[in-house]
C-alpha cells in the first residue's frame, strides 16, 4: 500500500465510518480513522490465518490468562504490517502528525504487571512465528486503576479505556455461552448432572493480533459478562426502574474490574466467579471448535494445547473433566487423562501469600460439581501414588497450585533459578512423584515493541549495521559485539542514548515541570511497588548519598537522576508507605540547593506500558534489586538490557541469566544469594547487626525516623523505620552495604563514558536470547508439541 492509498483510506473512514469532515476532525477522529484504515489491512491476513489453521488441521495453542497488559495497539499494528513510513506520509498529507495521533490511544491496561505483559508479548510472538493460537481472557470494563499523587500519597481512580471507541475489537454476539454458578448436583440416568441456580452469558470480543511482517494473525478473545435476560420489563412497568436494570448490572459485575493485585489472593467470591467465568467460556469455545473438526475426543490432546498462565484459570482441570465425563460420557479416569493431556501450567511466584487457595465452602457453594470432581481427582491421584502426603484439599482449602500441577502435562517456571526453587520448595513432593513434569521456560519480551518501536534511534543504528533480520531473529544482535571496540559505532550508540535522554528530559519539563540534566545518569526503577522488589533499598541509598554529598559539597560527585515508577495495590499498606516516602524524599532532595545538582528523585505517576516504552530507551542504569529468591523472572530487566541500560542487580530471577550472558564485567552484581538469604533470615538480629556494622545505613534510617522527610514529624515514617530496623523480612539492611559499594562502582564507571558505552553495547549485543520468540519456541517444542503453520 502506498502513502496516497493509505491517505485515501483514512479519509474514507473519517467521512463514512465516523461521519466527520476533515476540516473539523480532532486528533481523536484522525486516530480512529487511521486505526480503521490500518485494521482493514489486518483482516485479510487474519482470515487467511484462520483458514490455514483449519486446512492444515494444525494443533492450536490456547493461552488462558486473567490478564493481558497490552498497551497501545496502533503503532504495533502499523509497524508489524510495515506501513510506518507510509502512515507518517499519509498523516502529513492530511496535516496531522503521526506520533501525536498514535499517542492519543489509551493503553489497554487489562493487567497488573509482569504476568499480564508476558501474556501480551507471547500473543505477538505466537503471531510472528505463525503458531495457530488464541489468547483468552476477560474484557474488563475498567482496567488497572489510574494512579495519581496527592501530597505524595497514591490516589486511585477508575480507568476508563472503554469510554472511547475501541477500534481494534469485533464483537461476536453469535459466540456466546451461558456460564452457571451455584445450584446442586443430581444423579440422572447414572450421570451426575449439575444444575446451576444462577447464570450469566459470556460474549466474545475478538482482537486480531498481527505478527511481524504481517504474515500471520491470531485472535485475542476476551469475554464480557451479560445477563441472560437483560431487562425486566415487568419491573419497569411497575415503576421499579432500578429493579428492571438489576439483572444486567449484577451480571456485568463479573467483567467490571480487574483485581488490582497480582500477588495476594483477596478471597472474594467475585474473584472466583471471574476465574470460572472466563475459564469455562474459553473451554466451551475450545471444545466447540474441536467438535466442528473432529469426532473423536481421544484426539483432543493431539489437537489442543492449553496453557494456564498462573493458577487463576486452574479450575480448567475440573471443568474439562466435567465436560468430558458428565457431558460427553467419557469414563472418569479417561477424562482425567485426556484433560491432563491438553493442560499445562505456568507458575509465576513462590511467595506463599500469592499461592491461591479457596475454601471448600466457597468452592462447594459456587461450583458444587467442581468441588466433587476436585476430590475425585485427588483420590485418583492418591491411589496411583500411595506415597503421596500432599493433598489438593487441605485444612478446608482447595490449593490451586496443587490442582494445577496435578492436572497438567507440564509445569513450568519462568527462569532457571525460579524453576529450581520450585522443585525444592512449593512443589517438592509433587516434583518427586512426577520428575518429568517441571520444565523451565525463561521469559522473554517482544523485540518489535520493546526495541524496534520504542527505540527508533537504536533500531536504525542497528539495522544500518546488520540489516533488519534481528527483528525476528534477535540473537543476530550478537553481530554487534565486535562493534563494541569500534569508537565510531560507540559514538553513534552514545548519541542515540543521549538523544533519548534529551527527549525524556523535555517531556519531564513539559508534563511535570521538572528540569532534568540529560548529562546526569538516568537511574531507573519501574515496576509494581512491592517489599520484595525493594524500592525502599533504592530510596535508602538516595538518602545516604544525599547525606554524604552534604558532608562534602565540593566533592567530585557523579550527577544522577533516580527515576521511580510503579503502582501499589490499593490495599497494600506498606507499599503505599514506600510511595509516600519516595515522594517525600524527592521533595526534600530536589529542593536542596546544595545537593540537587548532583542528585534528583522523580516519580512520574501512573506507570504503564506506554510510560515504560518512553523511559526504558532513556535509561542508563536498570535497578533489579529484589531479595534473591523472590522475583520469579522479571521481564523489565530484559527490556533494559536490550536497550543498553546496565543492570545493578541481585542474583534473582532472570538477572542470573542476564548476568551470565552479558558477562559479570558488564553487570553490577551485589547482594546475597538465595541460600545466603535463607541463612541470614534465620538470625533474628540480622537487621540490627547490619545497621550496627554500617554507620551510613544507621544515619539514613535515623533521618527517616527523626522526620527529615516529614517536616520534623517523627511519627509519619515510623512504620518504615521500625520495619527496617526490626523484622526487615526482605533483608534491605543486610544487602545495603554491598548495594552501596556497587552503586559507587556504577558512579566510577559512568564517569568513563567510553567504557560505559562499550559495556552498554555488549548488553544490547548479548541480550538477544531474551526475545519472547525464543521463549515461545521453547514452549512449542517442550510443552505444546505445536508447530508453525507458516511454510
Ligand atoms: C515489563 C513491565 C512490567 C514487568 O516489570 P518487572 O520489572 O519485570 O516487574 C510491569 N509493568 C509494565 C507496564 C511493564 O511494561
What is d(CA 768, CA 783) in angstroms, rounded to the nearest whole number? Answer: 22
| Nearest CA owner, ligand 1 atom 4 | 114
CB neighbourhood size of 1 (10 A):
16
What is d(CA 65, CA 47) in angstroms, rounded to the nearest whole number? Answer: 24
The 3-class SS string of 458-509 reads: HHHHHHHHHCCHHHCCHHHHHHHHHHHHCHHHHHHHHHHHHHHHHHHHHHHH
How are strands ordered across the β-sheet holding 217-227?
Answer: 170-181, 198-210, 217-227, 133-138, 60-64, 304-309, 343-346, 410-413, 438-440
| Nearest CA owner, ligand 1 atom 9 | 527
With beta carbons less than 8 A apart as the criterion, state whether 33 and 10 touch: yes
The answer to whether residue 791 sits within a structural domain is no
Verify that 629 and 672 share a domain, yes or no. Answer: yes
What is d(CA 231, CA 25) in angstroms, rounded to the nearest whole number? Answer: 37
Verify that 409 and 532 share a domain, yes or no. Answer: no
Please state the length of the chain.
791
pLDDT at 70: 97
Domain count, the chain: 3
CA of 113 to the centre of ligand 1 (A): 5
What is d(CA 484, CA 488) in angstroms, rounded to the nearest whole number? Answer: 9
**Grid coordinates given for 516:** 532534568
With beta carbons less than 8 A apart as the criterion, state whether 721 and 701 touch: yes
Give counts: helices (H), strands (E), the chain.
Answer: 32, 24
What is d(CA 477, CA 276) in angstroms, rounded to the nearest whole number? Answer: 43
Verify that 67 and 79 share a domain, yes or no. Answer: no
How are strands ordered across the β-sheet holding 397-399?
Answer: 357-359, 397-399, 393-394
Which value, to the nearest 10 degrees, does the dihedral of the CA atoms of residues 359, 361, 366, 368 take? 110
| E strand or H helix at 68 | strand 68-71
- With a cut of 50, which residues of the chain have pLDDT below it? none
The answer to whether residue 707 sits within a structural domain is yes
Ligand 1 pocket residue status of 114, Cβ below 6 Å: yes
CA of 636 to the centre of ligand 1 (A): 5
| Nearest CA owner, ligand 1 atom 3 | 114
Ligand 1 pocket residue status of 636, Cβ below 6 Å: yes
Ligand 1 pocket residue status of 444, Cβ below 6 Å: no
| Nearest CA owner, ligand 1 atom 14 | 609
Verify that 169 and 101 share a domain, yes or no. Answer: no
What is the residue range of 51's domain? 1-56+75-106
Q: What is the per-residue burial (b if ≥16 Cβ within 10 Å, else e) of 367-382?
A: bbbbbbbbbbbbeebe
Verify that 94 and 172 share a domain, yes or no. Answer: no
Give, for ligand 1, the residue of 67, 636, 654, 775 to mutate: max count of ligand atoms closer than 8 Å to Cβ: 636
Give, for ligand 1, the residue of 67, 68, 114, 639 to mutate: max count of ligand atoms closer than 8 Å to Cβ: 114
Non-local CB neighbours of 244 within 8 Å, separated by 6+ positions? 231, 232, 233, 235, 236
DSSP string spanning 652-676? -TTHHHHHHHH-GGGSEE-S--HHH
pLDDT at 230: 76
CA of 667 to the centre of ligand 1 (A): 20
Residue ranges with strand state E in 654-743: 668-669
Give, for ligand 1, the residue of 609, 617, 653 to mutate: max count of ligand atoms closer than 8 Å to Cβ: 609
The answer to whether residue 479 sits within a structural domain is no
CA of 455 to the centre of ligand 1 (A): 17
Ligand 1 pocket residue status of 71, Cβ below 6 Å: no
Verify that 52 and 120 share a domain, yes or no. Answer: no
CA of 373 to the centre of ligand 1 (A): 37
CB neighbourhood size of 640 (10 A):
30
Tell me the three state secondary structure of residue 335. helix
The answer to whether residue 463 sits within a structural domain is no
The overall pTM is greater than 0.85? yes
DSSP state of 256: T
**Grid coordinates given for 686:** 540480622
The answer to whether residue 250 sits within a structural domain is yes
Verify that 285 and 141 share a domain, yes or no. Answer: yes
What is d(CA 773, CA 217) in angstroms, rounded to the nearest whole number? Answer: 15
What is d(CA 642, CA 651) in angstroms, rounded to the nearest whole number? Answer: 18
- Residue owning grid cell 541500560: 645
The answer to whether residue 146 sits within a structural domain is yes
Verify that 660 and 705 share a domain, yes or no. Answer: yes
The answer to whether residue 473 sits within a structural domain is no
Catalytic residues: 348, 527-528, 533, 635, 639
| Nearest CA owner, ligand 1 atom 8 | 634
Verify that 608 and 727 share a domain, yes or no. Answer: yes
Q: Can you tell me which atom of ligand 1 is nearest the CA of 638? A: 8
pLDDT at 264: 58
DSSP string spanning 160-220? -GGGS--TT-EEEEEEEEEEEES-EEEEETTEEEEE-SEEEEEEEEEEEEEPGGG--EEEE
CA of 771 to the centre of ligand 1 (A): 15
CA of 77 to the centre of ligand 1 (A): 21
CA of 212 to the centre of ligand 1 (A): 22
Distance, C-alpha 213 to centroid of its chain: 24
Ligand 1 pocket residue status of 612, Cβ below 6 Å: yes
Q: What is the per-residue burial (b if ≥16 Cβ within 10 Å, else e) of 507-535?
A: ebeeeeeeebebebbbbbbbbbbbbbbbb
| Nearest CA owner, ligand 1 atom 6 | 636
What is d(CA 568, CA 104) in angstroms, rounded to the nearest whole number? Answer: 26
The answer to whether residue 585 sits within a structural domain is yes
Ligand 1 pocket residue status of 284, Cβ below 6 Å: no
pLDDT at 263: 58
Q: Which CATH number characterizes residue 643's domain? A: 3.40.50.2000
Ligand 1 pocket residue status of 609, Cβ below 6 Å: yes
| Nearest CA owner, ligand 1 atom 15 | 609
Q: Is residue 280 exposed (0-12), middle (13-18) or buried (19+ Cβ within 10 Å)?
A: buried
Question: What sign does the dihedral 738-739-744-746 (CA atoms) show?
Answer: positive
DSSP state of 135: E
| Predicted confidence (pLDDT) per residue in 631-656, tens digit | 999 999 999 999 999 999 999 999 99
What is d(CA 196, CA 687) in angstroms, rounded to the nearest whole number? Answer: 54
pLDDT at 656: 98
Q: Can you tell me which atom of ligand 1 is nearest the CA of 607? A: 13
Non-local CB neighbours of 26 within 8 Å, separated by 6+ positions? none
Verify that 626 and 665 share a domain, yes or no. Answer: yes
What is d(CA 417, CA 639) in angstroms, rounded to the nearest whole number? Answer: 19
Ligand 1 pocket residue status of 608, Cβ below 6 Å: yes
Verify that 154 and 251 share a domain, yes or no. Answer: yes
CA of 138 to the centre of ligand 1 (A): 20
Give backbone dihedrals phi and psi of 787, rounded to 5 degrees, phi first.
-130, 165
| Nearest CA owner, ligand 1 atom 7 | 636
pLDDT at 229: 86
Verify that 41 and 113 share a domain, yes or no. Answer: no
| Predicted confidence (pLDDT) per residue in 239-292, tens digit | 888 888 888 888 899 999 998 775 555 657 899 999 999 999 999 999 999 999
**Grid coordinates given for 255:** 467483567
| Nearest CA owner, ligand 1 atom 10 | 113
What is d(CA 85, CA 676) in angstroms, rounded to the nearest whole number? Answer: 53
Amino acid at each position: 500500500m502506498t502513502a496516497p492509498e493509505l491517505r485515501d483510506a483514512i479519509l474514507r473512514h473519517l467521512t463514512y465510518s465516523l461521519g466527520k469532515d476533515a476540516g473539523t476532525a480532532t486528533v481523536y477522529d484522525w486516530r480512529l480513522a487511521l486505526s480503521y484504515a490500518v485494521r482493514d489491512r489486518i483482516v485479510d491476513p487474519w482470515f487467511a490465518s484462520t483458514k490455514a489453521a483449519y486446512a492444515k488441521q494444525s494443533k492450536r495453542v490456547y493461552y488462558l490468562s486473567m490478564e493481558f497488559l497490552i498497551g497501545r495497539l496502533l503503532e504495533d499494528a502499523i509497524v508489524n504490517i510495515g506501513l510506518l513510513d507510509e502512515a507518517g506520509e499519509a498523516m502529513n498529507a492530511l496535516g496531522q502528525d503521526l506520533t501525536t495521533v498514535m499517542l492519543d490511544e489509551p493503553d489497554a491496561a487489562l493487567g497488573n504487571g509482569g504476568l499480564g505483559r508476558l501474556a501480551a508479548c507471547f500473543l505477538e510472538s505466537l503471531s510472528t512465528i505463525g503458531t495457530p493460537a488464541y489468547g483468552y481472557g476477560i474484557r474488563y470494563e475498567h482496567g488497572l486503576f489510574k494512579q495519581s499523587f496527592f501530597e505524595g500519597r497514591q490516589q486511585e481512580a477508575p480507568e476508563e479505556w472503554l469510554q472511547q471507541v475501541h477500534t481494534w475489537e469485533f464483537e461476536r454476539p453469535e459466540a456466546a455461552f451461558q456460564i452457571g454458578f451455584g445450584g446442586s448436583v443430581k444423579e440422572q440416568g447414572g450421570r451426575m448432572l449439575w444444575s446451576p441456580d444462577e447464570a450469566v452469558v459470556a460474549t466474545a470480543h475478538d482482537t486480531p493480533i498481527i505478527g511481524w511482517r504481517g504474515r500471520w494473525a491470531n485472535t485475542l478473545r476476551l469475554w464480557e459478562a451479560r445477563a441472560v435476560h437483560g431487562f425486566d420489563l415487568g419491573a419497569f412497568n411497575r415503576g421499579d426502574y432500578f429493579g428492571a436494570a438489576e439483572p444486567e448490572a449484577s451480571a456485568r459485575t463479573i467483567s467490571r474490574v480487574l483485581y488490582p493485585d497480582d500477588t495476594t489472593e483477596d478471597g472474594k467470591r467475585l474473584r472466583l466467579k471471574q476465574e470460572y467465568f472466563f475459564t469455562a467460556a474459553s473451554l466451551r469455545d475450545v471444545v466447540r471448535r474441536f467438535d466442528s473438526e473432529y469426532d473423536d475426543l481421544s484426539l483432543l490432546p493431539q489437537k489442543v494445547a492449553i496453557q494456564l498462565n498462573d493458577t487463576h484459570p486452574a479450575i480448567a482441570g475440573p471443568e474439562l473433566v466435567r465436560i468430558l465425563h458428565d457431558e460427553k460420557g467419557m469414563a472418569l479416569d479417561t477424562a482425567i487423562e485426556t484433560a491432563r493431556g491438553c493442560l499445562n501450567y505456568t507458575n509465576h511466584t513462590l511467595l506463599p501469600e500469592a499461592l491461591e487457595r479457596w475454601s471448600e465452602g466457597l468452592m462447594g457453594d459456587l461450583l458444587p460439581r467442581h468441588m466433587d470432581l476436585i476430590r475425585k481427582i485427588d483420590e485418583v491421584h492418591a491411589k496411583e501414588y500411595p506415597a503421596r502426603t500432599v493433598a489438593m484439599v487441605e485444612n478446608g482449602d482447595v490449593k490451586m497450585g496443587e490442582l494445577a500441577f496435578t492436572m497438567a502435562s507440564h509445569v513450568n517456571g519462568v527462569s532457571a533459578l525460579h524453576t529450581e526453587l520450585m522443585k525444592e520448595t512449593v512443589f517438592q513432593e509433587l516434583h518427586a512423584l512426577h520428575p518429568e513434569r517441571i520444565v523451565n521456560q525463561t521469559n522473554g519480551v517482544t523485540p518489535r515493541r520493546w526495541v524496534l518501536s520504542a527505540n527508533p534511534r537504536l533500531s536504525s543504528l542497528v539495522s544500518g549495521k546488520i540489516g533488519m533480520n534481528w527483528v525476528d531473529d534477535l540473537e543476530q544482535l550478537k553481530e554487534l559485539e565486535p562493534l563494541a571496540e569500534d569508537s565510531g559505532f560507540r559514538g553513534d550508540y552514545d548519541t542515540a542514548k543521549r538523544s533519548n535522554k534529551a527527549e525524556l528530559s523535555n517531556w519531564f519539563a513539559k508534563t511535570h515541570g521538572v528540569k532534568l540534566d540529560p548529562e546526569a545518569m538516568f537511574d531507573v526503577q519501574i515496576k509494581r511497588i512491592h517489599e520484595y522488589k525493594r524500592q525502599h533499598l533504592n530510596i535508602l541509598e538516595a538518602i545516604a548519598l544525599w547525606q554524604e554529598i552534604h558532608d562534602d559539597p565540593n566533592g567530585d560527585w557523579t550527577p544522577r537522576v533516580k527515576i521511580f515508577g510503579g503502582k501499589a495495590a490499593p490495599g497494600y499498606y506498606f507499599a503505599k508507605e514506600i510511595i509516600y516516602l519516595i515522594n517525600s524524599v524527592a521533595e526534600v532532595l530536589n529542593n536542596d540547593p546544595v545537593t540537587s545538582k548532583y542528585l534528583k528523585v522523580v516519580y512520574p505517576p501512573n506507570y504503564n506500558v506506554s510510560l515504560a516504552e518512553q523511559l526504558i530507551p532513556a535509561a542508563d542504569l536498570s535497578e533489579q534489586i529484589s531479595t534473591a529468591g523472590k522475583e520469579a523472572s522479571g521481564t523489565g530487566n530484559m527490556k533494559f538490557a536490550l536497550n543498553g541500560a546496565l543492570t545493578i542487580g541481585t542474583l534473582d530471577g532472570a538477572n542470573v541469566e542476564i548476568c551470565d550472558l552479558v558477562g559479570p564485567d558488564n553487570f553490577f552484581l551485589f547482594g546475597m544469594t538465595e541460600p545466603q538469604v535463607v541463612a541470614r533470615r534465620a538470625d533474628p538480629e540480622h537487621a540490627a547487626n547490619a545497621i550496627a556494622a554500617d554507620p551510613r545505613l544507621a544515619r539514613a534510617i535515623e533521618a527517616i525516623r527523626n522526620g527529615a522527610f516529614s517536616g520534623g514529624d517523627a511519627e509519619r515514617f515510623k512504620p518504615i523505620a521500625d520495619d527496617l530496623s526490626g523484622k526487615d523480612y526482605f533483608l534491605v539492611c543486610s544487602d545495603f552495604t554491598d548495594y552501596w559499594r556497587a552503586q559507587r562502582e556504577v558512579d566510577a564507571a559512568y564517569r568513563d563514558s567510553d567504557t560505559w558505552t562499550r559495556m552498554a553495547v555488549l548488553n544490547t549485543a548479548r541480550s538477544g536470547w531474551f526475545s519472547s520468540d525464543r521463549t515461545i519456541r521453547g514452549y512449542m517444542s517442550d510443552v505444546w508439541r505445536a508447530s508453525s503453520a507458516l511454510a
